[in-house]
Amino acid sequence: MTDPFEIQAIRAYEGYLTAKGLPFDQIHFILKQSKSFIFVREPYERLLSGYVDKLFAPNAAYWAFIGTFITQNFRQNATEQNKKCGHDITFAEFVQYFIHSQHNNLRRDAHFVPNFEHCRPCEIDYDYIGKLETFEEDTLFLLTELQLDDKVKFTNFQSETERDAITDAADYVYSMRRAITKCMTMHEALFRAYRKLQIRGIISKHVPYPFTRDSQRDITIDEYKQELLAAHAQSGTSESRKANRKEALLEAYSTLPDDLLQQLRAEVKIDANLFDYEELPDVIRTAKEYKPSFKYFDVLM
């Protein structure tokens, strides 16, 4: 197998080796004998992406671990259902949690903590630092540098990435169906997964969700995947869909009060300075002025 996209995304975590549990001297030896690299991402986009993937989209495991903690600690007048499920966390509540977790070391998660803590670039002298903003170019460059370009091949990096994201979104909802439907209907879960793909710029905001709430019949995974792929096919070029991501970013950050935004700035400052990003980009600073015409985080159908 030479194409990584042939690996089902939900299986990608199985069977790989990590340094967890290895003695320090062995880790040091491996690093000295190996080429090392990390990938980083613009801090504000990374934080929003973590929220969308782990809390906004159907993800019962994170609802239970993080969502319930947030409703119990950062939501006034939370209902018992809110406290039990943690399935309807707002972005502002998530940012409150993130700042609190950084200061109090509670319920921290690798998907949210800053890159400098997660990958320790001040302690490990990485040979390469890639960026998610140039992921395709950096990945192909690394494969060539590491002489792996004859072993790992892509047919069409962009289209395969998007198709993989679509398949993964469907697989994940259906694999966790029993846990998810304890807190919301399957129709609500499928709608949120569709919204996630729109937020990521994989499906255009102009392509409406193909099912209706009053359709109570069971939607099979194959039917859902087919509809997602059809919606993607109608969505135009990847360039035309980039606006989705920026609009969703503006919509999310427009909900943060000034004081919360300044606290967040302090938390992402080190990542921004280390990896050549802005501490407070203009697009984030002026987000409060944004008036969305299309609401990506509106989950009412």
Question: Per-residue pLDDT for 13 more than 80?
Answer: no
Give the distance, in angstroms, between the CA of residue 203 and the centroid of all CA atoms in the same chain.
16
Q: Which amino acid does the sequence have at 124? A: I
Of 229, 241, 223, 221, which is closest to residue 163 (Cα–Cα)?
A: 229
Residue pLDDT, tens place only, 244-260 = 999 999 999 999 999 99
DSSP state of 130: E
Of 114, 127, 93, 105, which is closest to residue 41 (Cα–Cα)?
A: 114
Residue 128 three-state SS: strand
The answer for residues whose C-beta is within 8 angstroms of residue 14's C-beta and 6 or more apart is none
Q: What is the mean pLDDT of residues 150-179?
A: 90
The answer for residues whose C-beta is within 8 angstroms of residue 224's C-beta and 6 or more apart is 170, 173, 174, 190
Helices (H), 254-293: 258-274, 282-285
Residue pLDDT, tens place only, 113-148 = 999 988 888 888 899 999 999 999 999 999 999 998
Between these two residues, 258 and 31, which has the higher pLDDT value?
Answer: 258
Mapped to the 3 state alphabet, what secondary structure does 197-211 carry? Answer: HHHCCCCCCCCCCCC
pLDDT for the residue numbered 301: 45
Residue 37 three-state SS: strand
CA distance 4 to 20: 24
Residue pLDDT, tens place only, 35-67 = 999 999 999 999 999 999 999 999 999 999 999
Residue pLDDT, tens place only, 171-218 = 999 999 999 999 999 999 999 999 999 999 999 999 999 998 666 678
